[in-house]
């Protein structure tokens, strides 16, 4: 049980604790039920953490159930990606991997039971007529002329639907509930439709498929789900969920509880819209590191621990709210600050030549791999006469407050010496292409006599030992907090700077052997990960996970 912090328990965990204490359930059983029509996103992470979390905390179990009732939109590749994402996030279904399609025979029997009980009928209205008969939020619906078909006729028609005698859309099976109900979901909802589509698991065994609400309730009951946790948009469906439970002979009576969706600023969490970005080539795929998908965040270099921490900080409530992206990014920073070893890399290199350093000489400078974790040890950085520094760390005409390198000025090289800029080499258009400096041999970091202080310290990489790399500077995918607000098409708010590629970056040589997926802090620059897909020792590719500081804070403040 949620050890030690009952006061921070959310309302759902409270209900579950009460159900256990009151003896209503001995074992808590939940499920996470994604439809395999896309990759999972950050919103799903909330549902995953909640469902698997409460099961784990109470010693219960949680099913991973693929809700695969719509073969037109579903794909085995999505099933595989979903399984992969849930596992990566750190959860285990312990043999409880199921599919709504496992239950198609049972769901079909339930339909027959409802027909025999006079609680379902075959309707033959056209889709347009059905819409017209349904009524509106303010006007009641009208009963279909087919509503009074006899049980025998309904059984016959339903059997022939199943046998493939009718065209798609010719008939549907509907529950007979109440066309005048103020809740539109109770106005004789469709239970089955004819759809000639090959299903990724059942192939062509079926040409009729159950609708979501019907299949979902029965699947929950078959699995003995005690608490069916879902998002608020299903609140209006709860009376239907309960109608099915009341009118079918099912082995369990799950309780549906709704909570608010996770809405994250500066992104979108609609699979349909994410798919649109992919189809239009605006991102590289479901696992593009800018995508709010779990696969995208993984490739971006977010650790699963940070994502779980983020979800737990957002809480579980019934209130709709927008979570700031900076909360997620801060969880990532906090985690990576501890986890990430330090390294030096230069994104936009500028050559420095130490004119008083002996040609051909190389010395090794020790550098701690982590400032607070001595157990991570240290490495030796080769240092020589020619170095790369960041273009931004040099200014030819610099303001007084500029404490990095400038003509006549001094700066410390991280883990190394103090250098002074003495000369510049320019190309034909007047751009500085080399900075000539002298180094002060008495100022080597860590050695006695090196106490002399200068205001600035910059990072560098030895030119003779540098490893060339492509560095992908990722940033937020959208430039505004609510890209799916109604003002304009969400795609117009894409951040044109969400990916900038630095093709000529250089890395310290220890990074040549980094495994794909390794996350590091490039000193002064941010956290970076060796790309899981494209990184090779012969052609390193690093993604920026997140900057060291929140560069969006001011913008967000101004927007408020």
Q: Which residues are catalytic?
A: 35, 261, 271
Q: Helices 304-314 & 42-58, crossing angle to 10 degrees? A: 80
Query: Among 189-197, 261-269, 285-293, 544-552, which window interacts with ligand ATP (CB under 6 A)?
Result: 261-269
Q: Is 534 in the site for ligand ATP (CB under 6 A)?
A: no
Q: Which is nearer to ligand ATP, 270 or 380 (CB)?
A: 270
Q: Which of 148, 198, 270, 361 binds ligand ATP (CB under 6 A)?
A: 270
Contact 303, 339 (CB under 8 A): yes
Q: Is 33 in the site for ligand ATP (CB under 6 A)?
A: yes
Q: Which of 47, 58, 101, 267 binds ligand ATP (CB under 6 A)?
A: 47
- The residue number whose beta carbon is nearest to ligand ATP equals 43
Least CB distance from residue 274 to ligand ATP, whole Å? 8
Contact 64, 32 (CB under 8 A): yes
Least CB distance from residue 81 to ligand ATP, whole Å? 12
Q: Is 99 in the site for ligand ATP (CB under 6 A)?
A: no
Binding mask 301-320 for ligand ATP (x = CB under 6 A): --------------------
Least CB distance from residue 67 to ligand ATP, whole Å? 6
Size of the site for ligand ATP (CB under 6 A): 14
Instruction: Enter the tokens of residue 105.
Output: 């025979």
Q: Which of 13, 16, 20, 43 binds ligand ATP (CB under 6 A)?
A: 43
Q: Which of 269, 314, 324, 443 binds ligand ATP (CB under 6 A)?
A: 269
Query: Among 14-22, 33-41, 278-286, 393-401, which window interacts with ligand ATP (CB under 6 A)?
Result: 33-41
Q: Which of 10, 19, 35, 396 binds ligand ATP (CB under 6 A)?
A: 35
Q: Which is nearer to ligand ATP, 51 or 521 (CB)?
A: 51
Distance CA 96, CA 56 (A): 13
Q: Where are the alpha helices (DSSP H) in 164-293?
A: 212-222, 238-247, 271-279
Instruction: Enter the tokens of residue 270.
Output: 């609609």
Q: Which is nearer to ligand ATP, 46 or 199 (CB)?
A: 46
Contact 188, 173 (CB under 8 A): no
Residues 212-241 that bind ligand ATP (CB under 6 A): 230-231
DSSP for 436-451, please give it. EEEEEGGG-TTSTT--
Distance CA 268, CA 199 (A): 29
Query: Which H or E run includes 116?
Result: helix 104-116
Instruction: Enter the tokens of residue 366.
Output: 């020790």
Residue 154, classed as helix, strand or coil, is: helix
Distance CA 58, CA 47 (A): 17
Least CB distance from residue 43 to ligand ATP, whole Å? 2
Residue 80, classed as helix, strand or coil, is: helix
Q: Which of 44, 149, 199, 216 binds ligand ATP (CB under 6 A)?
A: 44
Q: Which of 261, 351, 414, 491 binds ligand ATP (CB under 6 A)?
A: 261
- The residue with tokens 């609400």 is 213
Q: Which of 46, 290, 385, 406 binds ligand ATP (CB under 6 A)?
A: 46
Least CB distance from residue 238 to ligand ATP, whole Å? 13
Contacts of 381 (CB under 8 A, 6+ apart): 344, 364, 365, 366, 367, 415, 416, 462, 508, 510
Q: Which is nearer to ligand ATP, 285 or 509 (CB)?
A: 285
Query: Among 264-272, 370-378, 516-524, 545-553, which window interacts with ligand ATP (CB under 6 A)?
Result: 264-272
Q: Which residues pair with 190 in a beta bridge?
A: 174
Q: Which is nearer to ligand ATP, 231 or 369 (CB)?
A: 231
* Buried b / exposed e along 192-215 (16+ C-beta atoms within 10 A): bbbbeeebbbbeeebbbbbbbbbb
Contact 55, 63 (CB under 8 A): no
Query: Among 43-51, 237-245, 330-338, 515-523, which window interacts with ligand ATP (CB under 6 A)?
Result: 43-51
Q: Which residues pair with 258 in a beta bridge?
A: 230
Distance CA 361, CA 364 (A): 10
Q: Which of 12, 16, 20, 34 binds ligand ATP (CB under 6 A)?
A: 34
Q: Is 262 in the site for ligand ATP (CB under 6 A)?
A: yes
Identify the CA nearest to 54 among candidates 88, 31, 35.
31
* Residues at the contact surface with ligand ATP, assessed by CB under 6 A: 33-35, 43-44, 46-47, 230-231, 261-262, 269-271
């Amino acid at each position: 049980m949620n050890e030690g912090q009952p006061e921070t328990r959310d309302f759902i965990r409270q209900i579950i604790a009460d159900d256990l204490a009151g003896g209503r359930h001995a074992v808590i059983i939940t499920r996470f039920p994604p439809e395999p029509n896309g990759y999972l996103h950050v919103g799903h992470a909330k549902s995953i953490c909640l469902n698997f979390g409460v099961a784990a905390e109470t010693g219960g179990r949680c099913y991973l159930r693929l809700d695969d009732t719509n073969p037109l939109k579903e794909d085995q590749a999505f099933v595989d990606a979903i399984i992969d994402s849930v596992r990566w996030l750190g959860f285990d279904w312990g043999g409880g991997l199921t599919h709504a399609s496992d239950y198609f025979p049972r769901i079909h029997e339930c339909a027959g039971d409802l027909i025999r009980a006079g609680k379902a009928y075959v309707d033959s209205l056209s889709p347009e007529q059905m819409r017209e008969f349904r009524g509106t939020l303010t006007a009641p619906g009208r009963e279909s002329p087919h509503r009074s078909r006899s049980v025998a006729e309904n059984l016959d028609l339903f059997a022939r639907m199943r046998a493939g005698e009718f065209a798609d859309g010719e008939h549907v099976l509907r529950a007979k509930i109440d066309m005048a109900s103020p809740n539109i979901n109770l106005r004789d909802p469709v239970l089955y439709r004819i759809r000639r589509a090959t299903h990724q698991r059942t192939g062509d065994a079926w040409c009729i498929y159950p609708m979501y609400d019907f299949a979902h309730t029965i699947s929950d009951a078959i699995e003995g789900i005690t608490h069916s946790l879902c998002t608020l948009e299903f609140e209006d469906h709860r009376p239907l969920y309960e109608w099915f439970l009341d009118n079918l002979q099912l082995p369990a009576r799950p309780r549906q509880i709704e909570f608010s969706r996770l809405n994250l600023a500066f992104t979108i969490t609609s699979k349909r819209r994410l798919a649109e970005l992919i189809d239009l080539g605006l991102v590289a795929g479901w696992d593009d590191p800018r995508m709010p998908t779990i696969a995208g965040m993984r490739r971006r270099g977010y650790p699963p621990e940070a994502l779980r921490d983020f979800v737990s900080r957002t809480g579980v409530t019934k209130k709709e709210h927008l979570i700031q992206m900076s909360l997620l990014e801060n969880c990532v920073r906090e985690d990576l600050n501890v986890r990430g070893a330090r390294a030096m890399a230069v994104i936009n290199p500028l050559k420095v030549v130490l004119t008083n350093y002996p040609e051909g000489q190389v010395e090794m400078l020790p550098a701690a791999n982590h400032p607070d974790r001595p157990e991570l040890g240290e490495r030796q950085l080769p240092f020589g006469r020619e170095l790369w520094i960041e273009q931004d760390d040099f200014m030819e005409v610099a303001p007084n407050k500029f404490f990095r390198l400038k003509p006549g000025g001094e700066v410390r090289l991280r883990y190394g010496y103090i250098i002074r800029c003495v000369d510049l080499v320019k190309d034909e258009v007047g751009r500085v292409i080399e900075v000539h400096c002298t180094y002060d041999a008495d100022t080597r970091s860590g050695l006695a006599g090196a106490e002399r202080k200068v205001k600035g310290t910059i990072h560098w990489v030895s030119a003779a030992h540098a490893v060339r790399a492509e560095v992908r500077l990722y940033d937020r995918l959208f430039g505004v907090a609510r890209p799916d607000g109604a003002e304009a098409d969400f795609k117009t708010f894409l951040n044109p700077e969400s990916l900038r590629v630095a093709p000529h970056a250089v890395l310290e040589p220890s990074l040549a052997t980094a495994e794909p997926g390794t996350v590091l802090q490039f000193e002064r620059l941010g956290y970076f990960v060796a790309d899981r897909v494209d990184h090779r020792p012969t052609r390193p590719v690093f993604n920026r996970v997140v900057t060291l500081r929140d560069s969006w804070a001011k913008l967000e403040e101004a927007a408020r």
